[in-house]
Amino acid sequence: MNRIDGMTYAPTYEAKPVVKPGEFIIAAIALDHGHIYGMCNGLVEAGAELKWVYDPDEEKVRAFIAKYPGVRAAESMDEIMEDPEVRLVAAAAIPSERGPLGNKVMAHGKDYFTDKTPFTTLEQLDDARAMVAATNQKYMVYYSERLHVESAIYAGQLIRQGAIGRVLQVIGLGPHRLNASSRPEWFFEREKYGGILCDIGSHQIEQFLYYTDCQDASVVHSKVANYNHSSYPELEDFGDATLVGDNGATQYFRVDWFTPDGLGTWGDGRTMIMGTEGYIELRKYSDIGRSNTPDHVYWVNGEGEHYEHVAGKVGFPFFGELILDCLNRTELSMTQAHVFKAAELCLKAQAQAMNLTPNQLK
């Protein structure tokens, strides 16, 4: 697991399979983003059998098969689409291509699991909603900063247990290391990556909806900027937003590409959750100056001050729940409405954002 580069960050865990061998067959296509490895790790650990892989880049396919021996290289995407054994297709395409690809997968009677951000336009979201309604297939999204982070999962458990009362506010900080030289060209093309609030901002909005149990929210204000990367004029290296949920809970989040080289991981991601009876702080990937390890949880409530290092103790239940949802047509892992609402709000935040880029960089 590469903790320095977020694009290749792929957690692993010795999970307990929820299905028997061969009971849930999956395939991987569109290997444009390294998150495909985290997505497949989680599914395979939960018992999925990875049968196929396809990407037009043969080098990417070879690297994928080296990681997952026994996986077959399909000659075309259609070979996977037409295989009746495949129940779910996992993909990490270029962001602007994720929505149309998902519609193709669902039209072939398969569930779809895509990397975030799931869409770059509201029109793509509308098309996906229509396809889900027409096919009853699932359009699931890898919101990894909650689903594949043990401290984030543990925070959800604390909240559900009533440890801090009703959640009133979530503050999310999502800094990332740019590693510009290792990024593909599409990463710096606004039309293809969708903008910073649409991209890494989607993690923050999804967590807000989840922790506050909101079904809807409004974007009060949002901002973006390219403060310091004039050589990449279409990059947004900073973004923030304020939201208000339908139950009155609020959110502020900031995302950026300014992680300094001295940090021992790709980003010092933090989440602060305030409730009526206490608060939680998550130091997701590092406890700087103390421990270059992930998943530190601090919380305070009426019973006192608490700390727990939960790495390796919680696991990643989403993946097993997703497999069972696909088999049983349930929504225990994540509802389709939640997936689409998080996507809708990040697209709206992006669309209405004030641009603070200095004139000399525009």
Is 360 contained in some domain?
A: no
pLDDT for residue 295 = 97
The count of domains in the chain is: 2
- Domain range for 123: 6-145+317-334
**Interval 85-97: pLDDT, tens:** 999 999 999 999 9
On the question of pLDDT at 101 being above 80, the answer is yes
> Does one domain contain both 327 and 274?
no
**Interval 245-303: pLDDT, tens:** 999 999 999 999 999 999 999 999 999 999 999 999 999 999 999 999 999 999 999 99
> Does one domain contain both 129 and 224?
no
Cα torsion 158, 164, 170, 172: sign: negative
> Does one domain contain both 264 and 322?
no
Which CATH number fits the domain that encloses residue 242?
Answer: 3.30.360.10
Name the average pLDDT for the chain. 95
User: pLDDT category, 80, cuts 50, 70, 90?
Assistant: very high
Around Cβ 76, how many Cβ atoms within 10 Å? 10
Sequence-distant (≥ 6) Cβ neighbours of residue 137 within 8 angstroms: 105, 106, 109, 110, 111, 112, 131
Is 98 contained in some domain?
A: yes
The C-alpha atoms of residue 290 and residue 194 are separated, in whole angstroms, by: 36
Is 105 contained in some domain?
A: yes
> Does one domain contain both 163 and 176?
yes
> Does one domain contain both 260 and 323?
no
Is 302 contained in some domain?
A: yes
Bridge partners of residue 297, in order along the sequence: 282, 308
- Percentage of residues of the chain with pLDDT beyond 70: 96
> Does one domain contain both 135 and 173?
no
3-state per-residue secondary structure call for 282-316: EECCCECCCECCCCEEEEEECCEEEEEECCCCCCC
On the question of pLDDT at 1 being above 70, the answer is no
On the question of pLDDT at 228 being above 80, the answer is yes
User: pLDDT category, 13, cuts 50, 70, 90?
Assistant: low
> Does one domain contain both 119 and 160?
no
User: pLDDT category, 359, cuts 50, 70, 90?
Assistant: confident
Strand 296-301 relative to strand 278-283, pairing:
antiparallel
353: DSSP letter: P
> Does one domain contain both 301 and 328?
no
Is 339 contained in some domain?
A: no
> Does one domain contain both 141 and 197?
no
Is 341 contained in some domain?
A: no
pLDDT for residue 14 = 72
Is 213 contained in some domain?
A: yes
**Interval 15-44: pLDDT, tens:** 789 999 999 999 999 999 999 999 999 999
> Does one domain contain both 51 and 97?
yes
pLDDT for residue 16 = 86
Which CATH number fits the domain that encloses residue 26?
Answer: 3.40.50.720
The C-alpha atoms of residue 212 and residue 232 are separated, in whole angstroms, by: 36
**Interval 123-175: pLDDT, tens:** 999 999 999 999 999 999 999 999 999 999 999 999 999 999 999 999 999 99
Is 267 contained in some domain?
A: yes
